[in-house]
Structure 1
Amino acid sequence: MKARSLLTTLGLSLAVLSSVALPAQAETKTLVNGPISAEVSYDPEPDSRFVNNVRIQISRQGQTLLDAAVPESNLVALAARGEVPVEIQDLDADGEPEVILDLYTGGAHCCTVSNIYRYLPDQNTYQASTKDWRDYSYRREFLNGDAVPEFVSADPRFAYQFTSFAGSGVPVQIWNYRAGRWTDVTRQYPARIYNDAFRWWQSFERVRRENPNHDALEVRGVLAAYMADKYLLGQEEDGWRRLRQVYRYSDREQYFSELRSFLRETGYAR
């Protein structure tokens, strides 16, 4: 009886153990570009595209120069552009490639974060900088024909500012990365700004055409983005003239005042 009881207890214990999900083993992805090797490791979240405990290791000619945890990298998705969720590219044409690791924090509409690692030859190590793109991520494009990519995104400060997130307009925003620093270079690309302004004005016209009984909340956001673009183009007087012609809602003066203040606070109105 004792032997049978012991076997029964052992069998139940094994059954309980077998029903408990064991933690997933850490995964590692490695990318090599010439003498530079970048290895990303992480713990997969069971039955999810999210991961935990992201670490990055960067080596040059076989010597490890950086081995560090990626900040705020629990329950994130690897915003991979391919099999390996890390890239090695010279972002500022100085002859020294940077290592780029993008993470996505999840949620209804948030957020892409770029972690960029730059080599410091005097210290023989890598220095990290972080850019939070918030809701709108980015595209890397070569806008002026040189070897330096621009980061094309949108200004997240406009989200929710004048209406709901879905109704918000967000003006184009273009960034350069140079020697570890980010610079807003949007004003250098007037053709892009013009196309963006045209897009927001067309959005306004579409609301008026498709819903004649719309209220102000349906157009406040897109018109704010339009006015931001007009300021970037140096055409703010024309923008205000057109806005006064079409914005006939009951909150007209309050909206104009709030919009002027916001454009000053965010640096569009100088």
Structure 2
Amino acid sequence: DRGATHVAIAAQGVQASLNLASSTACAGPMILDDAPDGRPPARCTVLRLGIRHDGDAPASLPLTIPDEMSFPVVSLVRLDPTSPIPQVMVSVYSGGAHCCEITSIVGRRADGTWQATPPVTEDDGNQPEIVAPGQGAAPVLVTHDGRFNYTFASHAGSYLPLVLLGYADGALRDVTRDPANRSVLEADLDRQRSNWIAGGRSEPNGFLAYAVATAANLGDPAPAWRAMLAGQDRSPGAVTPTPCEMLGQAQHTCTDAQKKAVPFPQGLSLLLVHAGYLTEAQARDLSGHTAGPGAPRYRPDFPCDPPPADNAIAAMLCSDGDAAKHQLQFDQVYYALRQQIGPEGWAALKADVIRDENEADRACGLPVPGAPDQTMPAQASACWIAASDRLADRYRQRLSGSPLEESRRDIDTHLALQQRLVELGYLPADTKVDGVYGEATRAAIAAWQRAAQRPTADGFLSDADAAALAAPPA
């Protein structure tokens, strides 16, 4: 009844009531509201929660100064497994097109006082659901992570990861990752995946971001990350995040670089770390995964923490392990050819490669590094990979003998052989094993060849040399 000034419910010896009354205590703060903006009025109408329990002194708690959109709701719930009596869940609606139901749990503490939790905000018009995971687990309050709303898709295309809250002795705590609540996350993931498929898989980045976050809460984000790389929407119309938004910073505090959109995987990684779904180490590990199941991890031949600014191609290589793998395969050819021609030919070779790579980027419609617009076209990664492979084949035609054998080697073996030189002490222990056979690696190969009495000590790993280097000690 919109005209009512008093409503009450009761169960198991607890009575909860909502009461509207004129008051001079208008300055707040209140349980479901901050202090009024500006100077508070001398008199206002306050919505108060009254609580009575057999044998205890009654409690009266100010909730909010309501308006015509408040729609207060009160219910008695069972959340605290240690309490013999129910708790009071009270909510008001804040108004707005999509926001928000503001909820607090008020419970009787061990000392007999009634205490309200800080408010929880949900992006709909309903009180949060309470579920019992089963197998003796305590009930949980089901809320959602609003940081995923509008971030990678429209409101309709956004999927929000669950945030499960447990309650005991007057306080809520995040129990999302408690093993007892795993079934709640799994059921929600199945349900939301079905909803997304039934909706025609529209705005895939909204669902894929949710799926990676949920998988992280379940303890194994790698398969979801690979599925995200394979299924992401790279089209110009996709919602593109900025580091400023992902880090939850006010625009005026962000640098110009932080205000520029980044590829979806990179933006998602930033949010997952900032929101606590992943550690920085986990994010770095995931960034090397490719879209294929069970695929190894690859990183480009330059630092990605952070990626170079104003360079969408570099950002793609940092976030797409498949593209990084093909860059390393081109590096195999380039550094073999560089060693074959000697220092006198290095400058000309580098100029040739830069020219050919720039032409390939233009043919794929990729943005020029440093240009104001760093928007990547659809299928940018696939086009770049194909172009890189063509360049590798072209430059490989200039190789012969041991350099040619080295350039054709499987990239994982190529990396493993460099790691073997570290293990044997021919390269320093802190060497970055990146597949780049520069001067230090060439010198290490030649030193090993001399020590192992190989037929030549030319710094190239022929197939026979590779087999000997990889063999375990006699």
Q: Same fold (TM over 0.5)?
A: yes
SS of match in other structure, 2:212: helix
Amino acid at match of 1:101: V
SS of match in other structure, 2:91: strand
Q: CA deviation at 1:205?
A: 4.8
CA distance in 1, matches of 2:86, 2:206: 39
Aligned residue for 1:56? 49
CA distance in 1, matches of 2:166, 2:53: 26
Q: Whose strand fraction is larger, Structure 1's or Structure 2's?
A: 1
Q: CA deviation at 1:255?
A: 0.9
Alignment of 1:152-163 (within 5 A): 152-163=142-153
Q: CA deviation at 1:202?
A: 4.6
Alignment of 1:105-144 (within 5 A): 105-120=94-109, 122=111, 124-136=112-124, 137-144=127-134
Change (3 A) 1:53 1:140: same
Aligned residues of 2:204 and 2:232 also touching (Cα < 8 A): no
Aligned residues of 2:132 and 2:140 also touching (Cα < 8 A): yes
Q: CA deviation at 1:199?
A: 4.2
Change (3 A) 1:219 1:92: same
Change (3 A) 1:200 1:141: closer
Q: CA deviation at 1:170?
A: 0.9
Alignment of 1:255-266 (within 5 A): 255-266=264-275
For residues 39-85 of structure 1, the C-alpha deviation after alignment (integer angstroms, 9 at most, x for no partner) is: 21137xxxxxxxx6311222233765312321354441023xxxxxx
Identity percentage of aligned residues: 26
SS of match in other structure, 1:163: coil
Q: CA deviation at 1:244?
A: 2.1
CA distance in 2, matches of 1:56, 1:247: 48
CA distance in 1, matches of 2:165, 2:230: 34
SS of match in other structure, 2:263: helix
SS of match in other structure, 2:64: coil
Aligned residue for 1:78? 72
Aligned residue for 2:15? 37
CA distance in 2, matches of 1:196, 1:25: 38
Q: CA deviation at 1:148?
A: 3.5
Amino acid at match of 1:159: N
Amino acid at match of 1:221: G
Q: CA deviation at 1:200?
A: 4.5
Q: Aligned match of 1:194 in 186, 189, 208?
A: 186
Aligned residue for 1:150? 140
For residues 113-160 of structure 1, the C-alpha deviation after alignment (integer angstroms, 9 at most, x for no partner) is: 2222222453x4322223323204521111124384211232211101
Q: CA deviation at 1:175?
A: 1.6
Q: Aligned match of 2:161 in 140, 158, 171?
A: 171
Aligned residues of 2:46 and 2:64 also touching (Cα < 8 A): no
Amino acid at match of 2:7: K
SS of match in other structure, 1:191: helix
Aligned residue for 2:422? none
Aligned residues of 1:203 and 1:222 also touching (Cα < 8 A): no
Aligned residues of 1:168 and 1:222 also touching (Cα < 8 A): yes
Change (3 A) 1:139 1:219: same
CA distance in 2, matches of 1:145, 1:60: 31
Aligned residue for 1:235? 220
Q: Aligned match of 2:6 in 19, 28, 37?
A: 28
CA distance in 2, matches of 1:231, 1:34: 40
Amino acid at match of 2:185: I
Aligned residues of 1:57 and 1:66 also touching (Cα < 8 A): yes
Amino acid at match of 1:153: T
For residues 102-123 of structure 1, the C-alpha deviation after alignment (integer angstroms, 9 at most, x for no partner) is: 222233222122222222453x
CA distance in 1, matches of 2:72, 2:93: 6
SS of match in other structure, 1:133: strand
Amino acid at match of 2:274: E
Amino acid at match of 2:208: L
Aligned residues of 2:50 and 2:60 also touching (Cα < 8 A): yes
Change (3 A) 1:40 1:229: same
Could you list the runs of 4 or more consecutive aligned residues of structure 1 that deviate by over 4 angstroms after TM superposition? 199-207, 250-253
Change (3 A) 1:266 1:139: same
CA distance in 1, matches of 2:46, 2:142: 29
Q: Whose helix fraction is larger, Structure 1's or Structure 2's?
A: 2
- For structure 2, the 5+ residue unaligned runs are 22-44, 241-261, 280-474
State the Cα RMSD in Å: 3.0
Q: Aligned match of 1:99 in 80, 88, 113?
A: 88
Q: TM-score, normalised by structure 2?
A: 0.42
Amino acid at match of 2:86: P
Q: CA deviation at 1:30?
A: 2.0
Aligned residues of 1:204 and 1:222 also touching (Cα < 8 A): yes
CA distance in 1, matches of 2:20, 2:86: 23
CA distance in 2, matches of 1:91, 1:56: 19
**Is 1:267–2:276 an aligned residue pair?**
yes
**Number of residue pairs matched by the alignment:** 225
